[in-house]
Amino acid sequence: MTFTRWENRSVIVTGGTRGIGYGIAELFARQGAAVLLTGRDERTACAVAEGLARTTGGRVTGRGVDLRTPAAIDEMAAEAVRLHGGIDVLCANAGIFPEKPLREMTADDVDEVLDVNLRGGILAVRACLPTMEGAGRGRVILTSSITGPTTGYAGWSHYGASKAGQLGFLRGAALELAPHGITINAVLPGNVRTEGLAELGEEYLRGMAASIPLGRLGETSDIAHAVLFLASDEAAFITGQTLTVDGGQTLPESLDAIAPAAP
């Protein structure tokens, strides 16, 4: 049996400066892929990329790409082609999750979340399409969430809408991309230990960990390995699908339904 060889494959990871995106970029770099990672700020992205190149020994480049700016997204795709000769994999991962109760939500609050999480991801896929179509192959992996597609959380209704919206996009896009040999799938993380999640506070993290049957928060590598699989040659016949990676968090009907931890 042969497995995907990642050497010289070109991978873009949006939101690769920290959290889940950083974990994805790190795993691809360790496999030998050429990685372009992005965040809002060019200097931060470059510094993170340099650090990853050092620790993994891989080819990692950073660029500042604000996903609210369509021209910057197009430039991201062009830069990947200039640097790495093509685009084999797009990990449309960047996202924000500001808390805002519906009663206090402004139009700008809604726009901000939808612009980054939904519109930014769609435009990133569009920007990579000509290159992938030209090659007759490609892999797109969206980072969605359990929140929205599967569960709800008070204070994050706009976020849930953006994450569920990604899946509507996923299914239509899968049909358009299939004739070109391009697959598109989504990972649905549960609660993963990232800088962004830590900003929600210790109490939030403790409560979440207690509601996960496997007894811990997710690690970024848990999500990265699922993404790596969906990006692999071995996943060639999977498109338009979702892969939940949540430690079983969405299974129990109540906290009582979770078996107590072994002594």
Residues designated as active site: 159
Nearest-10 Cα torsion for 47, 225, 58, 193:
20
19 binds ligand NAP (CB under 6 A): yes
Site string for ligand NAP, 55-94 (x = CB under 6 A): ----------xxxx------------------------xx
> Nearer Cβ to ligand NAP, position 16 or 165?
16
In the DSSP assignment, the letter for residue 117 is I
CA distance 62 to 56: 15
31 binds ligand NAP (CB under 6 A): no
249 binds ligand NAP (CB under 6 A): no
The residue type found at 263 is P
17 binds ligand NAP (CB under 6 A): yes
Tokens standing for residue 209 = 């960990």
**Pairing outcome for strands 59-64 and 10-14:** unpaired
Site string for ligand NAP, 107-146 (x = CB under 6 A): ---------x--------------------------x-x-
Site string for ligand NAP, 186-205 (x = CB under 6 A): ---x-xx-xxxx--------
| Options 13-21, 122-130, 172-180, 227-235: segment touching ligand NAP (CB under 6 A) | 13-21
Q: Binders of ligand NAP: how many residues, by CB under 6 A?
A: 31
Among 41, 74, 133, 219, binds ligand NAP (CB under 6 A): 41
Tokens standing for residue 7 = 């050497």
23 to each of 75, 114, 152, 183, 192, how far by Cα in Å?
24, 24, 26, 22, 11
Collect all residues with Cβ–Cβ distance below 8 Å to 145 and sequence separation of at least 6: 95, 159, 160, 163, 188, 189
> Nearer Cβ to ligand NAP, position 108 or 256?
108
Q: Is the sign of the CA dihedral 119, 224, 229, 59 positive or negative?
A: positive
Tokens standing for residue 162 = 């953006």
Q: Which residues bind ligand NAP (CB under 6 A)?
A: 14-21, 39-41, 44, 65-68, 93-97, 116, 143, 145, 189, 191-192, 194-197
